Amino acid sequence: MKTEEMQQRWSVLSADIISGMAEWRIQHPKASFREIEAEVDQRLSVLRAKMLSDTAILSSQTELAEKSSHLLCPSCGGELERKGKKKRKLQTRGGQEVELVREYGVCTRCGQGLFPPR
């Protein structure tokens, strides 16, 4: 995904959140400040999760070093074995689930899994 495409997606999602919040307010004219805050936080957490996911996937750290024959474990210095791409689900502070696909490696000496290995 290119940066311009990513920004366009964020822009569309932002506009949807803003218009949705305006519609929510019309439907909830007597909402308290705390209720409004909770609704804003819930809606923004969706945008936040999308931005986190997209930005993380663009990172160069999602792949093992290209064509390197000796990748070393940062814990024990053992050799890392490539295990291919794996999915990982993370929970954001806003309660949203983010799924990342990154290359995975396991140390042949200590057995530590690294996602993504560096």
Please tell me the predicted confidence (pLDDT) of residue 104. 84
Please tell me the predicted confidence (pLDDT) of residue 118. 42
Same domain, 69 and 102: yes
The sheet with strand 97-107 has its strands ordered as: 80-91, 97-107, 113-114
**How many domains does the chain fold into?**
2
Same domain, 10 and 41: yes
Same domain, 11 and 26: yes
Domain with 92 in it: what CATH number? 3.10.20
End-of-domain residue from the set 19, 35, 58? 58
Please tell me the predicted confidence (pLDDT) of residue 61. 53
Helix (H, G, I), strand (E, B), or coil: what is residue 71?
Answer: coil
Same domain, 5 and 54: yes
Distance from C-alpha of 117 to C-alpha of 42, rounded to nearest angstrom: 33
Range of the domain at 10: 1-58
Q: What is the pLDDT along the chain (118 residues), one digit of tens a residue?
A: 688 899 999 999 999 999 999 999 999 999 999 999 999 999 999 999 999 988 888 765 555 555 455 678 888 989 888 888 888 888 888 889 998 888 888 999 999 988 764 4
